[in-house]
Amino acid sequence: MKRKGLATLLVLILLAGCSSTNSAPPITDRYKESTANEQHGNLTQYEGEPSRVVKHVYTTARKMALSFEGLPDKDKLKQVLDELDRYQAKATFFVTGMRAAEEPELLKEIEKRGHEVQSLGLKRHNYNDSTYQEMAQTMQLGKQTIEQALEHELQYVRAVTSEPNEMLGLAAAYSGYDAVIGYSLFLKDSDLDEQFTSAKDLRIFITRGGIVCIDLERNSRIDELLALVHEAVSEVGYELATVSAVMQDELEYKPFDEIEGGDFAKINPATADTTYTVVENGDRSINEVSLTIDDWGTDYTVTQIIDILTEYDVPATFFVRVNGAERNPSLARSILEAGFEVANHTYSHPVITTISDEELQEEVVKAHQILTEALQQPPLKLFRPPTGAFDERSARTVAATGYTTIADYDLTTKDWDNTNDAHDILQTVLDNVQNGSIILIHMLDDIHTVEALPQIIEEVRARGYTFVPMSKMVEDAQKQ
């Protein structure tokens, strides 16, 4: 259809939407049978299941979605598409129905170059104070107009709002969208001079399933922003993909109370007869050692550790600081999916001897529940106290929650101190390793553990030791 014909169609749609007492039924069949009993202006509110609002996709795929808002002029769009080709990156362009009606050929060029087009509504619209009627009208009319230009249906809409609400999801569902797509990272020109002056600054925000957004109409330094994103994503070892490609790899994410076996940790005041076990080493008569990895880091660091352990076929046990996993559940799940044990290291990493019984149990149980959700299964039933500090009171308090085994260690590398370089870390291990050693390293950023890890594995194996998971050490200790 010619540009003039689409523009005329858009005017007719707008007039129909403004004059009718009820909007036209949604395009997607599953929304056509909606019934309603609540009125918002002239538009009847949809009563079915709302569309989800997605800001981050739960996935272990090494992909991050790249998205753009707005449709620039032909020359600027060509520059963007050429840059994406140069980086071998794919992206999702969220455009308005108004721009689709004005220049439909630009949408077709986007898809011809291997990218996808989704909806930004009829026009740029801030949904913060909108009624259901306003939300549904702009979403539905935008969808219809863009679909006329592309001659196929859309799946997603982006809505500008500071706090998504139920009406937003209902309006999107009524309009036939599978989901409302937000973003985990929004980049603008000023970020290049202020927050992100190098790829290293940006790496902390590069996550599996994350969604990057750049506004094409309101920024002029698109080439610099794309170069920065490409460099940061490449350093982490991920790829830039469309929203649909990332969503295709989405994993099921059930709430904690629906996960079988996840209820073994509960708030339960300790008593004098509460018992616990401390394991700081395995059987000294067996030439086995265990590698344990504490705390939390970014995808850049943790993915490197996963890859090194996988390459060398080394089992390991990760004790996770769970406020990190809460922000990035995809990375926590990736550790588990790679075949490693994952266990509880508290929610916020306090020294547990310095907090009250109530605070300690809250730390342990909150961490357990969030980690169970992140993994979609209960973690290993081991608890490691931050800094390794515990006493009789704190150990009994932890045990009362259900975590009856304190997973200690006998060989700490002190790698958390970044003045200890890779050689220092390696030498500490070689000077102290023995049968049954439980070795402690960390997955923190900006330390030298990643550099030291291959050498540790090679040298320890050269001395005749076999790496086993922490669960094996606990089993051996209980037999002694």
Q: Do domains 3-247 and 258-479 have the same CATH topology?
A: yes
What is the 8-class DSSP label of residue 348? S
What is the phi/psi pair of residue 204, to 5°?
-60, -25
Q: Which of 300, 302, 330 is nearest to 318 (CA)?
A: 302
Structure tokens at 145: 């107009």
Q: How far apart are CA 6 and CA 9, in angstroms?
A: 5
Q: How far apart are CA 57 and CA 208, in angstroms?
A: 8
Q: Give the chain's count of helices (H) and strands (E).
A: 17, 20
Q: How far apart are CA 169 and CA 162, in angstroms?
A: 14
> From first to last of its 480 residues, what are the pLDDT tens digits of the chain?
444 455 555 544 454 444 333 333 443 343 333 333 334 445 678 889 999 999 999 999 999 999 999 999 999 999 999 999 999 999 999 999 999 999 999 999 999 999 999 999 999 888 888 889 999 999 999 999 999 999 999 999 998 876 777 889 999 999 999 999 999 999 999 999 999 999 999 999 999 999 999 999 999 999 999 999 999 999 999 999 999 999 999 999 999 999 999 899 999 999 989 999 999 999 999 999 999 999 999 999 999 999 999 999 999 999 999 999 999 999 999 999 999 999 999 999 999 999 999 999 999 999 999 999 999 999 999 999 999 999 999 999 999 999 999 999 999 999 999 999 999 999 999 999 999 999 999 999 999 999 999 999 999 999 999 999 999 999 988 777
pTM (predicted TM-score): 0.91
CATH superfamily of 258-479: Glycoside hydrolase/deacetylase (3.20.20.370)
Structural domain spans, the chain: 3-247, 258-479
Distances in Å between the alpha carbon of 456 and those of 52, 166, 434?
Answer: 46, 52, 14
- Residue 67: which H helix or E strand, with range? strand 63-69
Class of domain 3-247: alpha beta
Strands 63-69 and 211-215: parallel
Spatial CB neighbours of 67, under 8 Å, sequence gap ≥ 6: 91, 92, 93, 94, 158, 181, 183, 211, 212, 213, 214, 243
Q: What angle (nearest 5°) sits at the alpha carbon of residue 369, between those of residues 321 and 268?
A: 105
Q: How far apart are CA 228 and CA 202, in angstroms?
A: 8
Q: What angle (nearest 5°) sits at the alpha carbon of residue 245, between those of residues 244 and 248?
A: 85
